[in-house]
Chain A
């Protein structure tokens, strides 16, 4: 039996060497180690052996089996690796062919700029409020301290629907609506983005355009706070090194009023065509809320103060992206829109 075993081992090992596929390995396993396999039969016949021989032979059979098992798994692994190699060789593709792109659209540049402004001001604690585009004369003008016959409300500036209803000429009417809604809560701290309309249509004016208005009302709001908030905004929007300049100006709904210039983004303040050689660009109007406006919003001007500011989105977008023609924003040429 011992000889039988040695012979079996020899022939098995040489058989194993000839196995060159996973199928052949499987056949081999069946032939030697299957239910009726050669090694299995030897084990089964061990009962005929003596009590001393049995454990010795058993051990030998097991050793041979372990050896074959480990050989099989070695061979299997090698064969598997080979097959994967074959597969890889067969599956080579031209990775230079273009990929299957997802089509993604995009935000209009004006709204991309408005989004950014909203995010910055929300970060500064402002909520975003909205109002009506078709407004009453009262909210658009009177509540903004622009009584009837005020020189600043010339007929040609506004689109009228009736004598009392018009397309809002600025986002300011929403100031009063927000104050009425909030009163008597404090602080009022909102920005108001939206469409506004004026009777102007030329290379630098569109009859419809966009503004973002800001309003803060609280106990002890100072003019210097306005400067601080606007400086903060300008730095976030145009970059940390950006400087601002406040100049006295006039708006009926603020007192004192200030025009705010930023250092020219085109020339860095040296003077160029965009800034007409001044080195400064006017970007927004602002001021301390006029006491009449606070009153009409329901707040007592002897108790609270506030500031307000308004800026044109088109102008900011033109400066930010270097767009030189206002009309491009409303033509919606897909070749223009794709650039943002």
Chain B
């Protein structure tokens, strides 16, 4: 909300500066976000009258003018402006003048093609005006001043540029402050300065107005109150300068005297008005009704609007003449031919107005005010105020009397407010008198005054004062938030903690960081076409996606059901920026829709891991390629750190998007914890990946379930026995199967089995590979005997030979 400082001072007799007032309002919750000085530093610019215009002998595009700028002698000014005429009043920048536009240095004596020019005549932009708010005549060429302007006046006050605009960010509860009078009331309450509101002559109900027109509200819920007055001898014309300036300062453009008055009254009172051309109304009156299905109206902006039964209309006997509270119709628009007008001031229902603006995508200054509801009790005063202004500007004559239809009782809320509750909630020690003074300052009606409580009635314009807490806020707002002490809650002390799962996520995150991985944060939503890139089968759970009804773009069309797209894009995005070697992870969620889509989905915390590229060779370490085994090792480490035993990596059912020969599902005790694998070459091509990408996904809740507690065992005092075992088998035999067989036959005292070599090559037959294991046994109660271990060893060899046709090597 833009607030003209000059206008505000007319409504309340402030003795402090604009800056001080701004600080005061901000402190009370009307946050002044900016102060805009309209003069923008203009200096030594005055009004002037062009006395004569002569062609420039040396230049076709220039003219030589004599200008009376209030000095003893007329000034000679050379100009190239197109619309220069003798008799015109203009703004003249004298020698030494400062203009706000940075492209204009200070004005100096200059010689233009041999003629000395003693100043410059100004256009609107040179005066720093917002040209978007001006008419074409005003913004092109020299800015025209009224013809009878006295020369030599300082242009700053003359154009109303000696004003400051306070830009106030209004919170939704203070829509009353979209009216200047209510801001003045607020300023008065905060500073004690007296209000100086306009005196308005009151009219009476009925009169000639009632003879000419009728008003009817067909359905009570649509409109609280509908008031109207009429004006005859209407003369549509331009507004006086002061009104134009006032509207410009408030951020509106001048249209004509009637439109400007309606806007000014709205800005002053927060009550929007609508003017109908009375003689164009069919049936000499209006009524309020719902629109019929299929009904249309051509609005003032020339657009045909399709209406629904949800929308409220003002109509005459021929059909709609306005969409209530939103915009008027073109058919009854006020034009230069208009003789008589009917002025509508109504209190439209906020919710209905809101729905209508949403449905039509049409929001206006008026609808913004009705959505938050206006002060219906002020309507008759507002109508009289509008007629007063019309008469004072010579734009018409008021017709005696007013119309007034009220469809619901206007009862202001009454609230019991307790002094001890105020002090209890705020932590203050305010006394009765201090608080009572706050009620008075805010013009709150004190219905009952008890020693320790009041019954209060809210001012009619304050729709936000309903419950006791609202009044508590008013108290502290005027008392000053900065006056509050900073205290500590008195109750019993508590111990802060996190949930177990939260702690587990932090542990996993810490482990990932320790292993060299950087945390990323990806959007939770992805483009649904990622599922196609991953070739996710139609019946796959990843198809159970939460779909956004109103995404900003398809790229954010669904909540992700898998982390593969996020991690792939993360890799590709970085690779394209020459960040080739990546180890990254994300702790985030996937969202799996329930069968019943009216319910919330399952939100599954997931540890997503990605690596690509390599750790480059150093002077003493070979390159470590971030391949499948690199990623698998990370997963194994994580699971070991979580004390999850019997982990199996199986490649039975495919994971969409992963390489069918380089992926594994991760199982613990038969429960699936996640998967690990290389991106499918087909998928990689669709993402235009230039490197192989490894991805792992672990379900945090499943990890939590599979975790084992710490189990301390005393350290064995007896020595370990170690044996190596190398065996050649067919290449397709999985290492995990061999290890399982070894474990099965190595007895319960086998402590560790470590694959230390894998060989394929000339020393072996084709289709053969050799695996070398280091086995370690240890007992807790005795020294193991060689014979015992030999026994195990022999059994293992025999079994490996039997099951896999394995040949023991190197014995």
* A-chain residues with CB within 8 Å of residue B358 when the two chains form the complex: 154-155
* A-chain residues with CB within 8 Å of residue B546 when the two chains form the complex: 134, 161
Query: Which of B28, B171, B473 is the one whose CB lies under 8 Å from A255?
Result: B473
Query: Which of B355, B584, B618 is the one whose CB lies under 8 Å from A149?
Result: B355
Q: How far, in Å, is B624 (CB) from chain A's closest CB?
A: 10
* B-chain residues with CB within 8 Å of residue A102 when the two chains form the complex: 516
* B-chain residues with CB within 8 Å of residue A134 when the two chains form the complex: 546, 559, 591, 600-601, 603
Contact A220 B621 (CB under 8 A): no
Contact A127 B577 (CB under 8 A): no
Q: How far, in Å, is B722 (CB) from chain A's closest CB?
A: 27
Return the chain A residue nearest B467 by Cβ. A291
* B-chain residues with CB within 8 Å of residue A249 when the two chains form the complex: 29, 31, 171
Query: Which of A111, A123, A126, A231 is the one whose CB lies under 8 Å from B519?
Result: A111
Contacting B at CB under 8 A, from A181-217, are: 186-187, 189, 195, 197, 199, 201, 207-208, 216
Given contacts A128-B502, A149-B355, contact A247 B481 (CB under 8 A): yes
Return the chain A residue nearest B552 by Cβ. A201
Given contacts A125-B496, A332-B574, contact A338 B518 (CB under 8 A): yes
Q: How far is the CA of A186 from the CA of B138 in the complex (A)?
A: 68
Return the chain A residue nearest B30 by Cβ. A248
Contact B425 A222 (CB under 8 A): yes
Q: How far is the CA of A81 from the CA of B556 in the complex (A)?
A: 74
Q: How far is the CA of A195 from the CA of B171 in the complex (A)?
A: 25
* B-chain residues with CB within 8 Å of residue A337 when the two chains form the complex: 518-520
Return the chain B residue nearest A152 by Cβ. B172
Contact B174 A250 (CB under 8 A): yes
Answer yes or no: B472 CB below 8 A from chain A CBs. yes
Answer yes or no: B116 CB below 8 A from chain A CBs. no
Query: Which of A133, A255, A290 is the one whose CB lies under 8 Å from B603?
Result: A133
Return the chain A residue nearest B523 by Cβ. A208
Answer yes or no: A97 CB below 8 A from chain B CBs. yes
Contact B518 A128 (CB under 8 A): no
Answer yes or no: A100 CB below 8 A from chain B CBs. yes
The size of the chain A interface, using a CB distance under 8 A, is 88
Contact B499 A128 (CB under 8 A): yes
Q: How far is the CA of A216 from the CA of B427 in the complex (A)?
A: 15
Q: How far, in Å, is A295 (CB) from chain B's closest CB?
A: 12
Query: Which of B172, B424, B513, B573 is the one whose CB lies under 8 Å from A250?
Result: B172
Answer yes or no: B488 CB below 8 A from chain A CBs. yes
Q: By DSSP majority rule, is chain A's interface helix, strand, loop, or mixed?
A: mixed
Contact A100 B524 (CB under 8 A): no
A311-340 interface code vs B (CB 8 A; 1 in, 0 out): 000000000000000000111111101100
Q: Which of A208, A222, A227, A246 has the most chain B CB atoms closer than 10 A to its own CB?
A: A222
B507-523 interface code vs A (CB 8 A; 1 in, 0 out): 00100111111111111
Answer yes or no: B549 CB below 8 A from chain A CBs. yes
Answer yes or no: A124 CB below 8 A from chain B CBs. yes
Contact B519 A100 (CB under 8 A): no
* B-chain residues with CB within 8 Å of residue A329 when the two chains form the complex: 521
Query: Which of B473, B513, B515 is the one whose CB lies under 8 Å from A256?
Result: B473
A152-183 interface code vs B (CB 8 A; 1 in, 0 out): 10110001111011010000000000000000
Contacting A at CB under 8 A, from B564-603, are: 570, 573-574, 577, 579, 582-585, 589, 591, 597-601, 603
B contacts, CB < 8 Å to A: 26-29, 31, 33-34, 171-174, 350-351, 354-355, 358, 371-372, 424-428, 467, 469-470, 472-473, 476-477, 481-482, 484-499, 502, 509, 512-525, 546-552, 556, 559, 570, 573-574, 577, 579, 582-585, 589, 591, 597-601, 603, 615, 618-621
- Contacts A136-B600, A256-B476 known; list 13 others, CB within 8 Å: A105-B516, A128-B502, A129-B499, A134-B600, A159-B548, A160-B549, A187-B489, A216-B489, A224-B487, A229-B488, A329-B521, A332-B573, A333-B579
5 nearest A-B residue pairs (beta carbon): A248-B29, A224-B427, A122-B496, A222-B427, A256-B473
A contacts, CB < 8 Å to B: 97-98, 100, 102-108, 110-111, 118, 121-130, 132-136, 149, 151-152, 154-155, 159-162, 164-165, 167, 186-187, 189, 195, 197, 199, 201, 207-208, 216, 218-225, 227-229, 231-232, 245-250, 255-259, 276, 288, 290-291, 305, 329-335, 337-338
Q: List 9 A-B contacts (CB under 8 A).
A: A105-B512, A127-B497, A229-B489, A248-B476, A305-B425, A331-B573, A333-B574, A334-B584, A335-B577
